[in-house]
Structure 1
Amino acid sequence: MEKQNILVMGAGSWGTALSLVLQRNGHNVWLWSLETPNLIEDCISEVKDILIVVPSHAFRETLKRLKPYLTAKHRICWATKGLENNSGLLLHQVAEQELGAKQALAVLSGPSFADEVVAGLPTAVTIASSNLDYAQELVKLFHNQSFRPYTSSDIIGVQIGGALKNIIAIAAGIADGLGFGANTRTALITRGLREIMRCGLALGGKTDTFMGLAGLGDLVLTCTDDQSRNRRFGYALAQGKDINQAQTDIGQIVEGVWATREVRALAKQLEIEMPIVEQVDNVLQGFSSPHEAVQALLSRQLKPEFDES
């Protein structure tokens, strides 16, 4: 593919990893952080594609920084996972509020630890956009022998999968920290996927998305590997650490903490059951201990695994 100029906003581990993928593919990359605020003005006329890789709570403010410089040629993709704090909005909704409905938008998500991407280990992700031509162009930008993106038109489902899997990973970490073993972890992953699908389908996502890379794939990765900060956070809570100490020890933002309360409120709004999310939120708010939360899940009313009506 012809060499492109790309602005990546967010110089954390994931933003840096994706910048390296693009650089290895021969593209010119500007990597923006708060320490380089003038970089937007300096390079914006040179780029067409902008990749945002900031924490979800900083997503709207990043768009506000960009907005004065955007023209009709610019297209925006983000690799941020989560919902907006305090509003519970999906990030494409935030982008449409700030930039208008005509702005070209896409999201990159899937099972992808930054360190493994940097090391060049084989990784597959999903790039979703309502504009499939844009998604296909992004796939060409990122694709190489170790990084394979797939296209999707389900921008809602891909975002829901990326945001909610962090909450289930906290639950899996709690279970592991309590010593409950592989049976419990697998049950949480399976029932957690059910909750993710229940929420995602209610918002307009597609079933296939939740069985793919951005759904099941990312969920399994985040719930089963120690590279997952959300899993490590849950494990620390089960070991008796408080929320602040657990986050301090991890040293990075734990997105599931931000997402849990928003998703619980969303579930109430949608009138759907999300018991794992509910119990994780009870632990985070101090209403239940980790052990009490697990017992609450086990003592729920008996019911069929699937609604057969």
Structure 2
Amino acid sequence: MTPDQVGDEPRHILDLRTTPVDRLRALLAQTRRIETDAAGELAGVLAGRFVANLFFEPSTRTRLSFTAAARRLGAEVLDLMGEGSSVSKGETLADTVRTVEAIGAEVIVVRHSASGSAAVAARAAAAAVVINAGDGAHEHPTQGLLDTYVIAEALGRLDGFDLTGLRLGVVGDVAHSRVARSDLVVWRALGAETVAIGPAGLAPASLEALGCAVEADLDEALPTLDAVQMLRVQRERGADTGALREYTDRYRLDEARLGTMRSTAVVLHPGPMNRGVEIESTVADSPRCLAERQVRAGVPVRMAAMLDAAAVNRL
């Protein structure tokens, strides 16, 4: 039984590693249809249904885009933050899931600091579907999907979302990044060659289990890449860069390094950015950096995820 088939409900979106390629392509294709839905055909398709956002970690982009996605589909949104909730009083995640489901939630979006927490929520749900909005250092499926969508759009791969022939990299604190794991998994599933780049403590050889290459020299890797995702150092998850100055010297994407990349190559960043650490402001603000496009893609991707999870197909 794969994680998206926990219990009797097969529509959970818990990770991309076990998601069939056909479903990945369908989610991306649905995103494209949503972006061209000029007639607003999807307005109200989830009217009268409840979506619960259970966020036990701080979040701006992900939480707001899930809320916007649900409301654009006409759903009622139940927002629960960890601080001040019953969880802060000792209630388990499973009991919280059962509570919001009893209130009427049919789609439950979960963000939690513990890896595997989305699967815990899915096992606790009787009939509601669970969408993982990031669980510890495990995965962040909808971020992986939106990153893929933005790359496919920028590099002319929207038809079929076939990434064969592309070399895509993630740079920095890969070891602690759920975004990196989802990116590396989905990019490889769609045909790309993938590489994790960083110092040994942040990009260990064990990442090769994801099917990617692992390299330590950013300057050697950059000219070979079609797209690069720059990651911040996640000190809250125990990351240690050692001397920060040495790290930025070796792994910050500045204008000089950007100039060594292919003219068609693009830069991504999932946010929040630490300008001057992993990315120079002039690069972050350049037309080749697609960070703002990533944010804009968040709503249609999460709309597609909700429609898929709720088994709604109106486009």
Decide: shared fold, TM above 0.5: no
TM-score, normalising length: structure 1: 0.31
- TM-score with structure 2 length normalisation? 0.30
Q: Using CA pairs under 8 Å that are at least 6 residues apart, name the structure with larger relative contact order, 1 or 2.
A: 2
Indicate the structure with greater helix content: 1
